[in-house]
Amino acid sequence: MSGENHITEVGGTGVPIPGDDIDTDQILPARFMKEVTFDNMADYLFYDARRDDGEFNDHPLNRFDGASIAVINSNFGCGSSREHAPQAMMRWGVDGIVGESYAEIFRDNCKSLGIPAVTTDHETVVELQEWIEDNPDGEIDIDVENEEVSYGDTTIDVEIDDAMKEALVEGIWDTTALMYSNRSKVEETTADLPYVEGDD
């Protein structure tokens, strides 16, 4: 369940994205970074891997359209530190990620977008990826507060970076919204400062 900005749990069907060391250039090819907004980024997610001669192939993102929990392997999001990669995943529909490990900057970018990125061991990830293949409509739930992932009859313990967990649960991951919500406090404080000129 999520409050306005508090993210304690996310769920939905899964999409397995197997492979180690999948870098940000595979996730979002560099040639699409010249766009000035993130609006079309979902269209470019794994653009080259999802197509053969311009036609969609059997890439998991093509087969599991509508999924919201991505299940990845180790060192996902390595390479250049582009925010476009998690932005593309979010705009495609990913609300949470379960994996073996992430590049640190990629994980931090996920936190800034309110996407829980939790970790577990290799065997557990592979079992979950295989379960998704067998149960494409099966629900997966990530419990951020209790650091658990549930699917089918299985509940597994996962780990989540302390800073990410705190930011999501406390609702302080969206720094822009946080600044806006504190705007009146900032204006009150500013009005009381002797060295700030007012409008009058």
Backbone angles phi and psi of 116, in degrees to 5: -65, 130
Which residues make Cβ contacts (< 8 Å) with residue 164, sequence separation at least 6?
107, 110, 111, 116, 117, 173
Residue 39: the pLDDT is 77
Return d(Cα 151, Cα 97) in angstroms, integer.
14
CA dist., res. 36 & res. 119, Å (int): 32
What is the model's pLDDT at position 3?
Answer: 43
Domain annotation covers residue 123 = yes
R_g of the chain computed on alpha carbons? 19
- Give mean pLDDT in consecutive 10-residue pieces for the chain, a chain of 200 residues: 74 97 93 76 92 92 96 95 88 96 94 96 98 97 97 97 94 67 59 61
Angle between helices 104-113 and 84-92 (to 10 degrees): 50
Q: How many domains does the chain have?
A: 1
- Does residue 185 fall inside a structural domain? no
Residue 199 lies in a domain: no
The residue range of the domain holding 32 is 9-173
Q: Looking at the domain assignment, is residue 60 inside a domain? A: yes
Report yes or no on 49 lying in a domain. yes
pLDDT digits 0-9 by tens, 26-79: 999 988 877 766 777 889 999 999 999 889 999 999 999 999 999 999 999 999
Q: Is 114 left (phi over 0), alpha (psi -120 to 50) or beta?
A: left
Q: Is residue 87 in some structural domain?
A: yes
| 97, 110 Cβ separation under 8 angstroms | yes
Flag whether the pTM goes above 0.75.
yes
Domain assignment present for residue 103? The answer is yes
Give me the CATH number covering residue 33.
Answer: 3.20.19.10
194 lies in some domain: no
